[in-house]
Structure 1
Amino acid sequence: MRILLTGSSGWLGRFLAPLLRANGHSVTGLDVAPGADTDVIGSVADRALVDRVFAERGIEAVIHGGALHKPDIARYPAQAFIDVNVTGTLNLLEAAAKAGHDRFVFTSTTSLMISQAIRDEAGDAAVWLDEASGPLEPRNIYGVTKLAAEQLCRLAWLNDGLNCVVLRTSRFFPEEDDTHRALSGENMKANELLHRRLTAGDAARAHLLALEKAPEIGFDAFIVSAPTPFARSECAELKRDAPAVIARHFPDALELYHAKGWEFPRSIGRVYDAGRAERRLGFRCETGFAEVLDALRAGRPLPFAHDPAYISPKEDAAPA
């Protein structure tokens, strides 16, 4: 299948483009920055460019991973988020519908599920988040535009019969967190695999499966995150004493952490439940917290990427 992959120079594209090719697909990469898997330099907000790529490359399906992200809020105005995340998505959906496509995969984010109240974590229990959670009240322009783009996908399915699978991915960036630095980056990423992170490799696998399953799904949105070991009934204790809950599920984790010089989270305020993606899409992440502990026990490299020096290609390519 001839696939247009947007965001091909980014972190997800680095993993997804080779995976698609390994599975027999022809990939045209579109990104605003050059990269090993990028064939066309330009923006999804440029409708003429999108139409030209569809015509010249004979595109048969789209995986739309290109976007402005949460750290970009400090660098770009709100209008840029609307242009790229909303108008860009509409451009691709309309081009796909016009071309008679039967599948479209959209990379969304769990961030759009986090209201300011959820982010403040002021309650007495962790917030359990699944696809039925709501109302959705994104706290910033990134979340607002990604939610709008999801709704455009829904309309494309209703109005044009374009099968669209939306993947609300949790965190998989390799760099340091742009707001929290209390723990080392590796320690924080390991902790987050308990409740709000996945690896880029797993994110790529989810997109490949979504591409294959889109015609039988029609339209749906899925949380994609490492499977949490926790149960909804543990939410109050997770907020009050997360180390006790972690130790109950993983009895030797504290010893392994101490040997590494790491710390457990004292409190966990939210948990993403990716169970529906497993039940309906047939997808489950291969890497989670248990695999981190396996690596620590065996002295192997950690099963996730951490790169404090990572810079988004679009920023790295920008003139000084």
Structure 2
Amino acid sequence: MRVLLTGSSGWLGSALAPRLRHLGHEVIGLDPVPSAETQVVGSIADRDLVLRTVSENGIEAIIHSGALHKPDIERYQNTDFIVTNVQGTLNLLDAAVASGVQRFVFTSTTSLMISQAIRDGFKGGARKAAWLTEEMSPEPRNIYGVSKLSAEHLCRLHHLQHGLPVVVLRTARFFPEADDLAYAIEQSDANTKANELLFRRLTVEDAAEAHVAALEKAPSLGFDIFIISAPTPFRPDDCAELIADAPAVVARCFPDYPRLYARKGWTMFSSIDRVYDPSRARERLGFVCKTGFADVLRALEAEA
């Protein structure tokens, strides 16, 4: 297929473009930042550019991973998020309909699922961790989340009105930057990311593979939304103890973790405030992340 990939110069795009080409797809990258993976330098907010790029290149599928992200909140205005994340998505959806594109994959975020109430509950002593699935009604706490949820609604609308097959992937954290949460302050970056694989992280390679799976399944799914995160060993019944004593829960699931962590000088979060449940992606999309917390422990064991 001829695939338009937005965000082609970014962390995900740089991993996804080669993977798509390896599978035999022709990839046209669109990004404001020049790179080896970007053939069209420009913004998705430029409606004429988007319409022209899709029509002139005979695009058959669109993977829309380009966006302003949560860290950009400090550098951009609210209107910038609306122009890029909402209007930009609308431009791509309209171009898809106008040119007869057969499938559309949208990179969304689990961040939009964390309301201010959930954040405040963790800071103020919540009684149990939040167990998060696609069935909940999101109440985003910042402009990033609002813009991504609005874009999701536009995706659904274009499916309903035009029959465009769209798969929305709410990806957990996979970026390389250090965590910005208070409970990660006392841990190294590698330690923090290892811990997060239990409940809110995946590798960029797995993120890319999820998009490949969504691209393949979009026509048969019609419209669907999936949480994409490494498989969690936890269950809903663990949520109270995850707040009170997360290391004890992790030790039940992985008895060797205390020994391996101690040898490395790592520690587990004392409390875990949320768990993203990716089981719907396994059941309906047929996708499961290849890398999880058990892989981290195997690597630590191998270091001996």
TM-score by length of 2: 0.97
Structure 1 residue ranges, 4+ long, deviating more than 6 angstroms after superposition: none
Measure how far apart 1:52 and its partner are.
1.6
1:180-227 deviation per Cα after TM superposition (whole angstroms, max 9, x unaligned): 433111010000000000000000000001000000000010000000
Measure how far apart 1:62 and its partner are.
0.2
- Residue 129 of structure 1 aligns with which residue? 132
1:205-263 deviation per Cα after TM superposition (whole angstroms, max 9, x unaligned): 00001000000000010000000000111110111000000000100101101111110
Aligned-partner Cα distance in 1 for 2:180–2:69 = 12
Aligned-partner Cα distance in 2 for 1:63–1:248 = 40
One-letter identity of the residue aligned with 1:30? L
Aligned-partner Cα distance in 1 for 2:101–2:48 = 19
2:81 matches 1:81 = yes
Aligned-partner Cα distance in 1 for 2:34–2:263 = 41
- Residue 57 of structure 1 aligns with which residue? 57
2:258 matches 1:268 = no
One-letter identity of the residue aligned with 2:289? C
- Residue 170 of structure 2 aligns with which residue? 168
Gaps of 5+ in 1: 301-320
- Residue 101 of structure 1 aligns with which residue? 101
- Residue 254 of structure 2 aligns with which residue? 250
Whether the 8 Å CA contact 1:124–1:239 is kept in 2: the answer is yes
Whether the 8 Å CA contact 1:46–1:88 is kept in 2: the answer is yes
Measure how far apart 1:37 and its partner are.
0.5
One-letter identity of the residue aligned with 1:157? H
2:226 matches 1:200 = no
1:131-172 deviation per Cα after TM superposition (whole angstroms, max 9, x unaligned): 1123x1100000000000000000000000000000000000
One-letter identity of the residue aligned with 2:171? T
One-letter identity of the residue aligned with 1:42? G
Aligned-partner Cα distance in 2 for 1:223–1:55 = 31
Q: Secondary structure at the match of 1:76?
A: coil
- Residue 71 of structure 2 aligns with which residue? 71
Aligned-partner Cα distance in 2 for 1:55–1:146 = 25
- Residue 221 of structure 2 aligns with which residue? 217
Aligned-partner Cα distance in 2 for 1:51–1:156 = 16
Whether the 8 Å CA contact 1:89–1:149 is kept in 2: the answer is yes
Q: Secondary structure at the match of 1:263?
A: coil
Q: Secondary structure at the match of 1:67?
A: coil
Matches within 5 A, 1:17-32: 17-32=17-32
- Residue 143 of structure 1 aligns with which residue? 145
One-letter identity of the residue aligned with 2:287? F
1:28-83 deviation per Cα after TM superposition (whole angstroms, max 9, x unaligned): 00001011201111000001111121122111110000000000000000000000
Whether the 8 Å CA contact 1:247–1:253 is kept in 2: the answer is yes
Measure how far apart 1:274 and its partner are.
0.2
What number of residue pairs does the alignment pair up? 299
Percent identity between the aligned chains? 65
One-letter identity of the residue aligned with 1:254? P
One-letter identity of the residue aligned with 1:169? T
TM-score by length of 1: 0.92
Whether the 8 Å CA contact 1:71–1:178 is kept in 2: the answer is no
2:118 matches 1:155 = no
Whether the 8 Å CA contact 1:85–1:145 is kept in 2: the answer is yes
Aligned-partner Cα distance in 2 for 1:30–1:256 = 43
1:76-103 deviation per Cα after TM superposition (whole angstroms, max 9, x unaligned): 0000000000000000000001111221
Measure how far apart 1:179 and its partner are.
4.6
- Residue 283 of structure 2 aligns with which residue? 279
RMSD over equivalenced CA pairs, Å:
1.0
